Amino acid sequence: MAWKKFNGDILKLSILDEVEQTIEKENSLGNKLKVCIGTDSQVKADHTDYATVIVFLREHKGGFMYIHQEKAHKKMSIRERMLSEVQKSIDIAYALCPLLDLYEVDMEVHADINTNPHFKSNIALHEAMGYILSMGFVFKAKPEAFASTYCANKMVH
């Protein structure tokens, strides 16, 4: 699973090692971090493109992100696709959890799901929210879910 920086550079270490080094570097610079994880997808003719992001926010000092992109060749309903996005975010959040706990870094999981019932993605809101909260993660949906809605959205082809 290749992760990369926003500039396209591929991360050389495993994502866990990269995140740990990043936290240590930011801590040594005196930056308080928060991590937000989100996934967005885009349906194409014969596949779906996904982008999952790990966004590092420096308190009062901007942020940066790591990106993972992949394709799926399975036809899905909107509900399945929304829950698939959530699953990808939860997978990485779960993997990072021990590390973030160790360094006392807060984390949020962002879902690209609209809280307004007039939008199609709303069909998956309660399931996604229940899933994320039951895992013990902080949940954000649109319009607060910037990691998925804006960051991952920019990276999905």
- The pTM assigned to this predicted structure is 0.94
- SS3 of residue 48 by DSSP: strand
Q: Could you report the per-residue pLDDT of 35-83, keeping only the tens digit for each? A: 999 999 999 999 999 999 999 999 999 999 999 999 999 999 999 999 9
- Per the structure block, which two tokens stand in for 86? 């959530």
Residues linked to residue 10 through DSSP beta bridges, in sequence order: 4
Q: Which domain holds residue 148?
A: 4-155
Domain CATH code at residue 44: 3.30.420
Please state, in angstroms and rounded to a whole number, the distance separating the CA atoms of residues 73 and 27.
41
Q: In this structure, are residues 137 and 108 in contact, taking their beta carbons and an 8 Å threshold? A: yes
Q: Are strands 48-58 and 63-72 parallel, antiparallel or unpaired?
A: antiparallel
Total domain count, the chain: 1
- Per the structure block, which two tokens stand in for 82? 């929304």
